[in-house]
């Protein structure tokens, strides 16, 4: 064989080897780029899931704060109404009306108890103050004004702490 033919064959083989090496390198780069893109997609999805979870949790906590605030206010109004009803001679003889008023007060108290966390001291104190405030109807030895102020103050403590939790989530 002639040298020029051998050189052509060697050059062709070298070119084919270069193409094969280039394809192998390209495939590896494409695979690496694909893995990077998939990792970025997973990270973005996880990040968006965390944001969605935080938003849902924040919305749920905000709903809870509003629910506790409204229930506590309704409880105080119901107890105040019950005091008026039980002290009014005309209405205190209406047992059905008294029972309805008492049931409404107890409904709000039980709702607050169910909304509260028995492992958090502030919540336990709040429920105890609610019970004490309800007892001011029958027990003249309890200072109604002091009890009511303590109840409102404790409610504010619980609600403020929960509001801080809501703000920390957003």
- Digitized pLDDT (tens) for each residue of the chain, 170 residues in all: 688 777 777 777 777 777 777 777 878 787 877 877 777 777 767 766 666 666 666 778 888 889 999 999 999 999 998 888 777 655 566 777 788 888 999 999 999 999 999 999 999 999 999 999 998 888 878 888 999 999 999 999 999 998 887 777 66
Q: Is 67 contained in some domain?
A: yes
Please count the structural domains in the chain. 1
Q: Is 160 contained in some domain?
A: yes
Q: Is 13 contained in some domain?
A: no
**Cβ(137)–Cβ(26) below 8 Å:** no
Q: Is 40 contained in some domain?
A: no
Q: Is 106 contained in some domain?
A: yes
**Res 50: pLDDT:** 62
**Cβ(166)–Cβ(57) below 8 Å:** no
Residue 126: CATH number of its domain:
1.20.120
Q: For 110-160, write each residue's pLDDT tens digit.
A: 999 999 999 999 999 999 999 999 988 888 788 889 999 999 999 999 999
Q: Is 11 contained in some domain?
A: no
**Res 57: pLDDT:** 67
For 1, which DSSP code?
-
**Which residues, 6+ apart, have CB-to-CB distance to 151 below 8 Å?**
72, 76, 126, 129, 130, 132, 133
Q: Is 86 contained in some domain?
A: yes
pTM above 0.85, yes or no: no
By residue range, what is the domain housing residue 90? 52-169
Q: Is 21 contained in some domain?
A: no
């Amino acid at each position: 064989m002639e040298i020029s033919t051998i050189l052509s064959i060697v050059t062709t083989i070298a070119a084919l080897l270069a193409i094969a090496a280039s394809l192998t390198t390209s495939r590896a780069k494409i695979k690496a780029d694909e893995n990077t893109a998939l990792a970025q997609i997973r990270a973005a999805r996880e990040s968006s899931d965390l944001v969605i979870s935080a938003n849902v949790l924040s919305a749920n906590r905000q709903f809870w704060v509003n629910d506790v605030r409204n229930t506590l206010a309704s409880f105080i109004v119901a107890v105040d109404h019950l005091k008026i009803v039980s002290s009014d001679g005309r209405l205190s003889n209406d047992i059905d009306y008294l029972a309805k008023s008492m049931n409404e007060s107890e409904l709000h108290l039980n709702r607050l108890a169910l909304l509260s966390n028995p492992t958090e001291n502030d919540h336990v104190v709040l429920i105890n103050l609610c019970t004490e405030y309800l007892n001011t109807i029958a027990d003249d030895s309890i200072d109604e004004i002091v009890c009511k102020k303590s109840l409102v103050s404790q409610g504010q403590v619980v609600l403020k702490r929960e509001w801080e939790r809501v703000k920390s989530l957003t």
